[in-house]
Every structure is written in C-alpha cells, then in structure tokens.
C-alpha cells in the first residue's frame, strides 16, 4: 500500500527568523510573515513544561502576514511547520526539523501532539525565535534562498502561479518586465478582471481559482471523486524523462501541473488517498489512474531525472499513462469506476 508521507516543511533555518536570545514568556501577539514565492499553510507548536500542543492551519500569501497566537503566549519553545499548497507539486524541496509533532489534514488543535492518534500524522517542526518589534509584537519571517523583500516575494508569487496556470511568466525571480506584464495582462483578460485587481487582497485567491479550473491549454487534471487525489506528471524532452510529484487535487477541483518547454511526450499517474494519505482501495484494488510506462516516484515530494532501477535506488515505481497532447490541451478526469 502506497502512503504519501508528509515531508513538506519549508526550509526554516536561521536565515528566515530573527534570533531572540531570551526564551521568556511572550506577552504580545505572535505574527508570521511570508517572504516566499509560494502560498503556504503553517502550523505552530507550543512546547511548555513537558507538554506540547499544535495548531493549524494558517494560510499566508506571499508578502502577507498573519497573527497565529493572540495575547499572552507562555512557552518554553515555539515551533513551526510550513507546507506549500499542493498545487505546486514537487516544489519547494522537502526540509526536515528537529522535532516531530502531530498534525491533521484539515484545521486542527491537538493538545498532546507528540503521540499521534487516528486522523493525525507526524510532521517535522523547527524551533523559531521571533524578534520583538517596537510595537510589542513578536514576528518571524518565512523566506527562501532568493531572500526576497516583500515586494519581490509578492511578484514572484504571482509569477509562479501564472506559470502553473499556463501563462508564460518565467523566470520566477520577483523582477517585473514585459514578459511578466504580458502574462499578467493575458490572465486578467481571460478572467474579465481590470488592472486594479492585482492589488486587491484576494488576488492570490483568484490566481489559485484559475489554477484549479479546467484550462483550454496544456494538461489539466480534474478530480471527480469524493477522495483526495495525489498526482504526478512526467515529461520526455527526447533526452531525459523527468517525473515530478506529488500534486494534491481536492474533490471537485482541477489542477494544471507546471510543464515547462515543449516536451515530446507527457505522462500522467494519479491515485486516490484517504485522510491519512493511504491508498484508497476499490473492490480490493488501488483506486488509481495510470498506464503501462513504469517511471520512478517516491512517497514524499520528488523530482527524478533518472528512470530505471527504481527499487535498487530506494525509489518506488508507478505505471504512468501517455497523454495525447496533439490538440494542444488535454483534460484528464479522475472518476469512480
């Protein structure tokens, strides 16, 4: 039975948080700010006097901030787990943390978070040491290697979602230019939006809505089952076959995997999973959608450029189906048998 391991904590070392030497109880709101090019969901852990509780999820858009704990916060340690939305597929690369605490798929509060129960899964958490601001708040920043400022993070986040939605806004660098503006204008026109929409607080929600809707270009997956679906895509450029996953597709949603360039062949594999990320069985068989082409995968998020001998390299193999893209677009609908 395949189980999709949640190893999606983003890189959270010293570069992303300002260090506060004291671990004394805090008496102000705790705020997290996102300077990454991904829309993320975060969970926090509070470790105090041998008791550890977790709470999530808090969604934070690029260049956005969110208060995750209000008022007096008494804690020996504050811990953080962050995950990019599943629509980004294999990026960013999984990162680890020193503590393993329990989380749940949907919004949750777990009082005893070191012993996972049914419906809960272990995840890596990283200790953070927020900085106290002049107005008394505690603040910590999520960042990536590019070290964007707020303006750059917001633009890079828009570029990334435009690319996933099928608009050519690459490279994703947080720098404005004619190519980014052309992609952005094409998106606005396709959705009947004016230029002012880009500055609205809900603009990332509109981009995500576009990513999760059927598209007239490229490959689209649509989940018509009552289950969560985890999908992987592979591309053959004539020299290398690269498999990439997992993309999460919620029931009733669609998703466009980001396929760069003009590959000679595209392959697809998808599988339904339950609330604990275990393969769903239907009439004693795994509920999946694929084909005869065996390509390498792994349980955690992945991007694999070398196919063959999957098992000897500690990888899994799945049967991918070739996708006919001769018409320039293809929608694959995953439905119950």
Q: What is the pLDDT of residue 92?
A: 63
Final residue before a domain boundary, out of 85, 120, 143: 143
The verdict on 113 and 54 lying in the same domain is yes
Whether residues 132 and 196 share a domain: the answer is no
- Cα–Cα distance between 194 and 90 in angstroms, integer? 32
Q: Residue for token digits 């591309």?
A: 235
Q: Are 84 and 118 within one domain?
A: yes
For residue 18, the enclosing domain spans: 14-143
The answer to whether residues 233 and 220 touch, using CB atoms and an 8 Å cutoff, is no
Tell whether 165 and 122 lie within a shared domain: no
Is 3 within the bounds of a domain?
no
The two structure tokens encoding residue 329: 């677009």
Beta-carbon contacts of residue 268 (< 8 Å; ≥ 6 apart): 219, 221, 231, 232, 233, 234, 289, 290, 320, 321, 323, 332
Tokens of 88: 């980004």
Question: What pLDDT is attached to residue 269?
Answer: 98
**pLDDT, tens digit (0-9, with 9 covering 90-100), for 163-193:** 888 788 989 999 999 999 999 999 999 889 9
Q: φ, ψ for residue 312 (rounded to 5)?
A: -70, -15
| Calpha distance 100→123 (Å, rounded) | 5
Question: Does 31 share its domain with 113?
Answer: yes
* Domain CATH code at residue 185: 1.10.101
Co-location of 95 and 69 in the same domain: yes
Number of domains in the chain: 3
CA–CA gap between residue 68 and residue 200 (Å, rounded): 22
**3-state SS, residue 63:** coil
Residue 97 falls inside a structural domain: yes
Pseudo-torsion of CA 241, 246, 250, 251, nearest 10°? Answer: 60
* Structure-block tokens of residue 4: 């999709």
Which pair of tokens denotes residue 11? 């890189």
The DSSP symbol for 26 reads B
Residue 2 lies in a domain: no
pLDDT number for residue 12: 40
| Helix-helix angle 203-211:150-164, to 10 degrees | 20
In a domain, 271, yes or no: yes
| Domain-ending residue, one of 211, 236, 252 | 211
Q: Do the Cβ atoms of 167 and 156 come closer than 8 Å?
A: no
Q: Which residue ranges of the chain lie beneath pLDDT 50?
A: 1, 5-27
For residues 180 and 167, what is the distance between their CA atoms, to the nearest angstrom? 9
How far is it, in rounded angstroms, from Cα 175 to Cα 167?
A: 16
Domain boundary among 143, 159, 182: 143
pLDDT attached to residue 188: 94
| 137 and 166 belong to one structural domain | no
Task: Identify which of 326, 256, 255, 321 has the alpha carbon closest to the alpha carbon of residue 288.
Answer: 321
Q: Are residues 59 and 128 in the same domain?
A: yes
Same domain, yes or no: 121 and 179 = no
Strands 138-143 and 108-110: unpaired
Q: Are residues 256 and 277 in the same domain?
A: yes
Question: Which of 14-47 are b and which e, b meaning 16 or more Cβ less than 10 Å from the residue's Cβ?
Answer: eebbeebeeeeebebbbbbbbbbbbbbbbbbbbb
Instruction: Say if CB 305 and CB 240 are below 8 A apart.
Output: yes
Q: Classify residue 9: in a domain, yes or no.
A: no
How far separated are the first and last CA of the chain, in Å rounded? 19
Q: Which two tokens stand for residue 42?
A: 């975060």
pLDDT on residue 218: 81
């Amino acid at each position: 039975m395949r189980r999709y391991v949640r190893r999606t904590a983003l890189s959270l070392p010293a570069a992303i948080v300002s260090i506060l030497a004291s671990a004394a109880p805090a008496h102000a709101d705790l705020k997290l700010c996102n300077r990454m090019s991904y829309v993320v969901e975060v969970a926090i852990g509070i470790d105090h006097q041998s008791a550890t509780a977790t709470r999530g999820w808090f969604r934070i858009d690029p260049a956005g901030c969110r208060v995750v704990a209000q008022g007096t916060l008494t804690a020996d340690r504050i811990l953080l787990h962050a995950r990019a939305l599943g629509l980004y597929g294999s990026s960013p690369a999984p990162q680890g943390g020193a503590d393993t605490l329990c989380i749940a798929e949907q919004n949750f509060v777990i009082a005893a978070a070191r012993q996972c129960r049914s419906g809960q899964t272990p995840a890596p958490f990283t200790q953070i040491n927020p900085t106290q601001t002049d107005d008394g708040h505690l603040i910590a920043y999520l960042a990536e290697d590019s070290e964007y400022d707020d303006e750059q993070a917001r633009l890079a986040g828009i570029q990334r979602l435009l690319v996933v939605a099928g608009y050519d806004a690459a490279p994703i660098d947080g720098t404005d230019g004619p190519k980014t503006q052309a992609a952005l204008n094409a998106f606005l026109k396709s959705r009947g939006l004016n230029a002012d929409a880009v500055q609205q607080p809900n603009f990332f929600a509109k981009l995500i809505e576009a990513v999760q809707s059927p598209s007239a270009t490229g490959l689209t997956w649509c989940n018509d089952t009552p289950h969560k679906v985890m999908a992987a895509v592979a591309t053959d450029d004539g020299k290398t076959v690269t498999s990439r996953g997992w993309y999460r597709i919620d029931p009733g949603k669609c998703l466009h995997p980001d396929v760069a360039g003009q590959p000679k062949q595209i392959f697809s594999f998808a599988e339904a999973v339950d609330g604990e990320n275990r393969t769903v069985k239907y009439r004693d068989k795994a509920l999946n959608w694929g084909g005869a082409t065996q390509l390498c995968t792994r349980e955690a998020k992945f991007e694999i450029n070398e196919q063959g001998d999957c098992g000897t390299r500690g990888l899994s193999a799945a049967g991918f189906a070739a996708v006919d893209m001769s018409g320039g677009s293809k929608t694959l609908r995953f439905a119950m048998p």
